[in-house]
A = this chain, B = another copy of it.
Amino acid sequence: MVILEELKKVASHPAADELYELVRRRLPRVSLGTVYRNLELLCESGMVRKLEYGGSQRRYDGDATHHYHLRCVSCGRVEDAPIKPVSEIEESLRKMSDYEIIGHHVEFVGICPECKRKAPRTATQTKRALRKEKKHGTERITN
């Protein structure tokens, strides 16, 4: 319950170790394994979504309703994209494919306002950042 509460509190889609730190403030004796284990259970029960886009760590989302994400290639933060999902796209794919379509996920990549301000980039720098960020999201929790 604490894990779920803390996850719902933040908008940052934290990775397991980040959430572990948050939970530890309330339950100083929890173990990282417990966090992983219960995140898995919460995912299975459909209350939490596991995000597996770029980067070396998975992120967790306390909002399990269908929505898209927006990732900053510069600092690595992931936010909810402020547009509503277009489910019609699944319909159009159904017409073209023999797959039984279950769902779809969308990730936008871009540069967040803060990073734009901090370090306006040339196109080349942006491309380089876009490559780098694959390795590991740079920024951690700020919430």
Contact = CB atoms under 8 A, between A and B. Distances in A.
Nearest to A72: B99
A96 B108 contact: no
Protomer copies: 2
A143 interface: no
Given A102-B73, A104-B108, A81 B97 contact: yes
A105 B105 CA distance: 8
A53 interface: yes
A107 B105 contact: yes
Given A97-B110, A99-B113, 8 more contacts: A52-B55, A81-B97, A82-B93, A93-B108, A102-B109, A102-B110, A105-B107, A106-B106
